[in-house]
Structure 1
Amino acid sequence: MSLIVDTVFDLDALLTDEERAWQARARAFATERILPIIDADFENKHFRRELVPALAEAGFLGMHIEGYGCAGAGAVAYGLVCHELEAADSGWRTFVSVQGSLAMSAIAKHGSEQQKHEWLPRMARGEAIGCFALTEPAGGSDPAAMSTTARRDGDDWVLDGAKRWIGLASIADVAVVWAKDEDGVVRGFLVPTSADGFTATPIDGKFAMRASIQCDVTLESVRVPASAMLPEARGLSAPFQCLNEARYGIVWGAMGAARSCLEAAIGRSRTREVFGAPIGARQLVQGALADMFVEYEKGMLLALHLGRLKERGAITPAQISVGKLNSVREALEIAHRARALLGGDGITDAFPVMRHAANLEAVRTYEGTDEIHQLVLGRELTGIAAFS
């Protein structure tokens, strides 16, 4: 299992045999199934849907959920899977996150037993894909300003509104749609994407997440039965619980992208010669590599600490904000410094660094920008909310 970066700091010693097995499975999947095709898929803006059954067979979809055909793995094991998938490409960690941490978690946390039995086993097997429709075109970081509505009409609900940056929506079978009811209360609904009035349009022109799918969604008088409402979801705390699941995965995932960039820089420092010697023999280069490595290992130790807290049921949203803010910010800095060490070749697809850097810019924005997580932590530290 050891990579270059593992030889200095033995993180494996802090893991269980089961956790190492999940990591090995994810690393093998990323190495054999994603890395050979990811540069072409990124270039061609192609989402390789045929990998979904293989992800399901490996047990990665909703793997942290207990029962209903899900693996019931621990938080650290799930984090390690996110880490390995994002070391290949952020788009594939995002797929596992949208499917498992958002859509499946919404059903597992807030759904009825009938809804759980109807959807979770199929989603775990990759037979059904879900999406999580919360963000709106004008809302972004302010979901409380949600304008999508749900009104009662006899025994049905009728949904109207628009969502943006909804991962997987154009290939999903079911959308978890968040809307305000007539009393202004946020509710969740399971909406078949085949429903009349539901339209998902992939967003084009992206310079990041090109091997992934994000969509604009419109809901025009979409009618669903009363049984489509998630009975335990009431208020913004319901979608936020799911967002925290996704943010937790990012804590580990972003460090996977950082690891890939760091490994590329280390490898190149040994083979690229300038002024008669490998650049790795230069003090400035070794200093840069050391700084990158220290931030990577700090990020991994933070991720592991948060995972152990999560397994004890002791983790808080503020702690997750610490992890998301640190991991993505430091991963981007590692990517930028790696690109510089690679010289001009660093902007080509001979190395994964520019692809990771572009993807991390997107990861930095979704599931809470740096500024939002800073304000979450500021509120935790001062007791004063400064969001408005």
Structure 2
Amino acid sequence: MNCLKLPKLVAVCLAVTTLAGCETIGGWFSDDEYDPTEPVELTDIDQKVKLSKRWSTSIGDGQGKGFYKITPVLAENTLYVAAAEGVVAAVDATNGRKLWSAKLGLAISGGVGYHQNSLFLGGADGTVLRLNASDGSEVWRAEVSGEVLAAPQGNGELVVAQTYDGKLIAFDHETGEQRWVHLSDVPVLTLRGTSTPIVVDNFAIAGFADGKVLALSLDNGSVAWEARVAIPQGRSEIERIVDIDGSMAMQSGELYAASYQGRIAAVDLRVGRKIWQQNVSSVSGVAVGFGNVYVADQDGTVSAYLRNGQGVRWQNIQLGYRGLSRPTTVSSYVALIDFEGYLHLFSQVDGDIVGRTRPDGSGARADMIAQGNRLYIYSNNGKLMAYDVAGLE
């Protein structure tokens, strides 16, 4: 087996199996078959929020069978969304009407990035594409050395894309010509995924499988600063996995990132200095709101850390081992989807679960998108949906 291509799900399952195996051996000598990683059963909640479905439309095969995380992007009241089979579409965010749809003729593994009427996508065969956002027509495509599992990003001059084999590559926005490439060390074992790069000011910021976040100069790819979010620990390679795979967040000159089997950290965007950190294990990413930084741990704990570094505001452990998505702030709430496709709304104030519905049983690995009190969800099987959130009177 090529360990650099160990799928995320397999890597996580191996770690869980290692622990669960101890329970199984113990079971030979007792009747105790308790599995501490078994997803908890949902219990009734005090529904205080109304979730109203406004529209739904289908986009190809969604995430396909590759455990991808192809996330739509919202720009100028239009949702741009892609499916693993190579379908790309523009959808009116108000009513769900398709404005256009295009077939690219190749499988998609990463997307969707947007800048000034351009869309950026990654191909499963190792390509980066720039499309015209007006109709989905191809402007250029460039070959890279590995899968692109997150949305490339651009600023009108350069397009940056991160590959599964540890590279961050910059392309000329107009021609697709490669401008520079940064190589990072890839551990023996890594989860299947990468975080989405961030282009801000004159820097490209990316998280890597070695637990580091780097800021690279857009001029030449030189390292402006690096911040270590996690330190590999343990005797086995599985225990030493510290990938930064989830989406990062920014606010007021600070960057927030979380790693698997590591930490969540706040980093000064100017110099890369860590402001604070807390132990956590997450692959879904972080969100910011109400003076908090939100993260869902692999064990199902949802935490709100104070942005000022003074610790935990609240934690909720009611959704243990339910495979939670990246938190998304919408109105006064935090939204997460579990592995069975249930959408849960938490109060940003105290962490109580105040709303629940089930948009789609297939789940939703893609990050949700919020605008005002509206929440956009792209399910694993390709349903793009809009829900409005309102408190019950």
- TM above 0.5, yes or no, is no
Task: State the TM-score, normalizing by the size of structure 2.
Answer: 0.23
- The structure that is helix-richer by fraction is 1
Select the structure with the greater relative contact order (CA < 8 A; seq sep ≥ 6): 1
More strand as a share of residues? 2
> Could you state the TM-score of these two structures normalised by the residue count of structure 1?
0.23
